[in-house]
Structure 1
Amino acid sequence: MIFGAYACSEDDTQPTENPDSSLIANNSELADLLLRTSDVNNTSSIDCIDLLYPVTFFIYDSNQQQTGTQTVNSDGELLALLLSLESGTYIALQFPISVVLQDGTVVTVNSNAELVTLISGCASGGGGVPSDFETILTSGSWFITYFFDDEDETSDFAGYEFTFATDNTAQAVSATTTVDGSWNLTTSTTPDLILYFGESDPFDELDEDWDIIEATQDIIKLKHISGGDGTIDFLTFERTPNGGGGGGNTSDFVDNLTTSVWYVNLLEDDGVDETCDYVDYEFTFNANQTVIATSNSNTVNGTWSATSSNSGIDLVLNFEITGGDDPFEDLNDDWDVISFDAQIIKLMDVSGGNGGTDYLDFGRNPYQGCSGGGNTTELTNILLDGQWFVESYIDDGDDQTIDYNGYVLTFNSDGSVLAVNNNNTITGTWSVVTSGSGLDVNLDFGTAVPFDEFNDDWDVVTYTTTRVELFDVSGGNGGTDYLTFQKL
């Protein structure tokens, strides 16, 4: 059996021949990884990563001519497809596809190489399941502090104390009810926890094969990906009821939050690391429920509140937003408090839309992982110094520089920018931030033509004291725009 996975455009155009000369043969690395990912009965199966279905494959004959397509909707269907392929035939994945990592992060994959890296990486990492998991599970009692199945249903299990015995039996006991169940671990390299508590509501919701995200003496975090619609369920056990990762004590949490300053140490938005967007900011949470984020060139005001919910403590953040690409918009949410102490606050949010999971950490020290971010202060000071004009603007290959002839731009320290010619004054906003790819310049001129074309998050190519070169790759058609400012 030989099969290959190749990228195909998103417009469902079907290739007529293999576009990739690097075929993946039977027993090759990716072939083996895909089989181990889809075969739960394989003693070396990989459970630390899951494909989000449906996934489409193109099928080719020995002459590399396409003979058909097949869409698979589950691990079982994928395994059946792989095992049914005849010798000399090939298959090609239609990229992009999405996979879910052990911690619930959803990642978009665009190539064979990316898929190999993700699967082999998590497999070699052991999936984060400790070797003494059985001892942790069967020692003492547990309480469900978070259960999310399309919506938060933690309250359905309030008052129930769970115990897991070494003979693989389990019980959920309340003041008036006892529910018997069972538990098992799969024999895969990264074992799953199989729970069964019968068919009675709501305990039938727990009857799943759960991926183990994290396990310590105090907390067990699980996730399950539906084989039907691909939605993700989350289940958390802790040693005390309504823990929310921080013991459920809102007063202690508030005291900790409002003591001294904090820095964003992680912002992962649906699998994308955006931490460097906040690396220059120092956050102060005040007792009057206001919050201030301050950098050398900017101040962002907002509000916060901490509440108790069935899942524990929630931290609600609401920052003022300027423009369509303001990174602070990604912080505005109702965050579940996973854990907190004097040095770090860990938060999580599951999107009500696509089911993606976001993670936000605040720490006492600035994040140091933005070595490629560049010097925001230096570029900010350069733009503040003097007046500028648009030397060049290329919109997806179309030179539109003439539209900006005669305009003089002034970047002000309050975050405003003015574009002025003999007849017109256009006002917008600007900021310089760091991202994982380097420096970004955020521009927003609202609906004012023609400067509305500049409304975007621009990557900085290079800059000097008299010239700033930017580019942006469109999220729609993938075209690239180029913008250059020259100092007068």
Structure 2
Amino acid sequence: MKKLIDNVMRVVLMVSVIGLYSCQEEYEDVGGSDEEQTIAAQSDIAGLIKQTSSQDGSFDNIVDEASCFAVEFPYTVNANGVEISINSKSDLEKIENLLDASTNVNNILEIVFPITITYADYSQITVENKGELMVRARECIEGGGDDDIECIDFVYPITLFTFVIDAQQSSEIQVETDFDMYRVFSELEDNRLVSFQYPITLTKHDGTEVVIENNADLMATLEMEKNQCDEDDDNDYNDDDFSEAELDEYLMTCPLQVKQVIRDQMDNTEQYLEHLMVFREDGSVVFSTYTADVITGTWNTSISNGAVNLRLEFENFTDFTSYWQVYKLEENLIKLYKDDGNKIALERRCDI
């Protein structure tokens, strides 16, 4: 059966191309026909496919501070004097956890050069030192936004059929990776057409799978999903992708116990270790020990520059009064940050 389907697809592609090659103007007027299953080099759908399969450079911004390229594994960094080998994406969490745990005013992260960086089009260059990396990072920012589509991904393998118009020759390609897909469409010339063997499957950023039956479905899905998630294309590596509404619900669900307080470069944690904060729906927040010393203030959340913020205000209680950026929201831990010398960590205590 698979062989029969493949042969039918080749015939459809060949018939479509013959019609295109011999009667170009009529092809443009055809609607709802099999020609719509072929993809030309300069078409909108070809551009969306390239964007979806291009290299994502934003996942390692904690290291290179640039979203238009990524550092190739393996490499080594030195974070606050600790050497860390980076062999996969999961190893980047080691850097973040080490820097988050540090009480240093200025965290230091150094890359061991030389390194190789890969751009969105999968081209690679060797970078010999920090100065050269910073120049390329600035060029990345100055060159405009990162236009890759990271909110949805192809599920491989995928079978493609290609047709050379001049020679009227067809062939089959088995695509296994984003790199393979990008290469097919980036090298697609004007005298060639491509078609998919449908159905194909794509995965959204939340893990939901979408089954695609034709080109129209594919184009509509890629257009709809390309702006449906935070692609982390800024250099805030601590952005853990949560909304203002999610933060509000998190704060009001359970009391929060103070775990760390660093203000103006001074560690004031010890005097607050037994204190709790209770956030209320009316905008008030109660700060106390388990039994006494109640202090009431106000709170509200907001979003600015893509970050979710928490404003705390207490009368004559400066260690907590400020406009904080919420940079980590885990199941049982929330972390606040303001400038280099101010951090607060709160543990969720739903058992109280």
* TM-score with structure 1 setting the length: 0.26
Task: With a CA cutoff of 8 Å and minimum separation of 6, indicate the structure with the bigger relative contact order.
Answer: 2
Higher strand share: 1
What is the TM-score when the length of structure 2 is the normalising length?
Answer: 0.35
Q: By percentage of residues, which structure has more helix?
A: 2
